[in-house]
Amino acid sequence: MDHAASDDPEHWPWAALADEEVWRAHGDAVKHAGCYLLTSYDRKPRNIAEKINTHYKTWEFQLYIFALAPILLYSVLPTSYWANYCKLVCGFQIVCQGKLTMAQLVDAHALLCSWEHEFELTYYQLLEERIHFVHLCVHQVVHLVSEAIHKGSPICTAQWTMECTIGNLSEQIWQPSKPYANLSCEGVRQCQVNSLLSIMPELDGLPTRLPNGSLDLGDGYILLRKRSKHSSLPRGDEATALSQFPGPGHVLPHIKKWARLHLPNGQIARSAWRQLLRPPEQIHMSRNVKCIL
């Protein structure tokens, strides 16, 4: 990183990853954390210490900056710098949701403004030789909430969203003549459909066909195959948990194991019964779920 001759990076308290040993250990932690990400995150992130200069993809940087780094940098960065960074991440996570409430926007605006103010005081420190620390994006961050109020969530107006939308509309064009006119018509038609669904959301509630062999438990929970062929009596910790759940006086039931469970939020939880058949480096750990009672 460029710096003035009088501004020695050795004296930067936030440069914790400048140490080669710390940086390599951090890269290994990023790689190993990929085993505990859901399959909805697509591919696992690679070792950032080894791949950062060799085609480290945009989605890998996004996953690292806004999901993994706040956890992996805890106790690595000094506390004040780590807390400042978490304000940025939390603010971004709020404004990039599909649905936003006014209370959430107020919280996000407070977090992002606080991050920007602290960033200038702790990194830039109003020093002329550090003016290049403050890129344009630092000031753009504080406008995210006001833009979200006028345009909607940034996930709907960001560059990659627009590019993906243009690509999807282009795929619907079959006639080679007048491609731009056709593209405009497809865009207008999609806007009309979106407006109609926004006014009458019940039109979007089309029934979906369940996979073959699945079992609908209700309330959005669906058991998905594979499934054990024969019932078995649980043993060990499984037996203890199942006997405590219904309370005393109930006979321990025979059970059949299922490989997957569709959750109400659309994600798929997987059981250890099938996941443990593969080595850790080949799986996404999808058997840890959060229960809200």
Give 239-288 pLDDT, tens digit per residue.
Answer: 888 888 877 778 888 889 999 999 888 888 888 888 888 887 778 888 87
Helix (H) / strand (E) containing 262: strand 258-262
Whose CA is closest to 141, among 169, 175, 111, 171?
A: 111
Mapped onto helix, strand or coil, the DSSP state of residue 223 is: strand
pLDDT value at residue 251: 85
Is pLDDT of 114 > 90? yes
* Two structure tokens written together for 151: 């345009």
User: How confident is the model over 81-109, as a mean pLDDT?
Assistant: 94
Yes or no: say if 41 and 59 are a contact pair by the CB < 8 Å rule: no
The answer to pTM > 0.85 is: no
pLDDT reported for residue 18:
92
Instruction: Assess whether pLDDT exceeds 80 at residue 34.
Output: yes
